[in-house]
Amino acid sequence: MATTKNSNTPSGDRRVRRTHTALARALIQLVEERDLSRITVADVAERAGLSRSTFYDHYRDVHELAEAACTAMIDGLIGSLPTPGPEVPDPVPEATQSLEAFFASLAEHAGLYRALLGPQGSARVVDHIRRRIAATVHDRLHQAAGGLPDPAGSSADTPYDVPAAFTAGALIGVASDWLQRGCSRSPAEMAALTWPLFGALYHLDAGTPPETGP
């Protein structure tokens, strides 16, 4: 968790956001040049044009910055992911395109994602992604069945949903394996291969939504 100092002024908020953006951008550049374990606070601060003390005003170490940068980027991606359902019986362009964009973004920042989703990565990031995907899938399927979206918007409050949890775990597993193998298939290929697996999980041909827990 980032240790950002509190600010009660809009200008202070903007400064914090600019600093976070500069540090995240510097780390993303560096992690494409060398392993995350070899990057120091001094490296990131120098690349961002900031002091080490400024870095420590916001993050404890490089790993915490990496976790914050990764989760921020993945949150934006998850919102665009397609969700299989009985109303989508075949792979449609919008579905495969959004999956392709998901894998393309992972490939663009492969060094960072590979470090945090790999065997020696961050359990916090993996759990965050798993919960976010599961909550998104659950909410969309609930709405497709005629329900209202969860006003809390919190994955912690999402009822236990086996298909949603399975989808989240499967997608993380596929993405992590693909990254560790050097993104050997293109994002378009990954999208084309992944969507039918989602379809099989949700029994698209049967035209019936999966049952979820209470």
What tens digit of pLDDT does each residue of 40-78 get? 999 999 999 999 999 999 999 999 999 999 988 888 788
pLDDT at residue 184 above 80? yes
Amino acid at 208: T
One domain for residues 90 and 34: no
One domain for residues 114 and 162: yes
Q: Is pTM, for the whole model, over 0.95?
A: no
One domain for residues 18 and 105: no
pLDDT at residue 32 above 70? yes
pLDDT at residue 135 above 80? yes
* pLDDT given for residue 203 in this prediction: 53
* pLDDT given for residue 79 in this prediction: 74
> How many separate domains does the chain show?
2
Contacts with 145 (C-beta within 8 Å, 6 or more apart), sequence order: 209
Domain residue limits at 54: 10-60
One domain for residues 52 and 115: no
* pLDDT given for residue 210 in this prediction: 44
Which tens digits make up the pLDDT trace of 10-31? 556 889 999 999 999 999 999 9
One domain for residues 131 and 154: yes
Within a domain: residue 2? no
One domain for residues 50 and 71: no
Tell me how far apart the alpha carbons of residues 82 and 138 are, in angstroms, rounded to a whole number: 12
One domain for residues 28 and 94: no
CATH number of the domain encompassing residue 41? 1.10.10.60
Mean pLDDT, rounded, for 127-147: 77
pLDDT at residue 171 above 60? yes
Mean pLDDT, rounded, for 165-169: 87
One domain for residues 17 and 72: no
One domain for residues 54 and 82: no
DSSP 178-191: HHHTTS-S-HHHHH
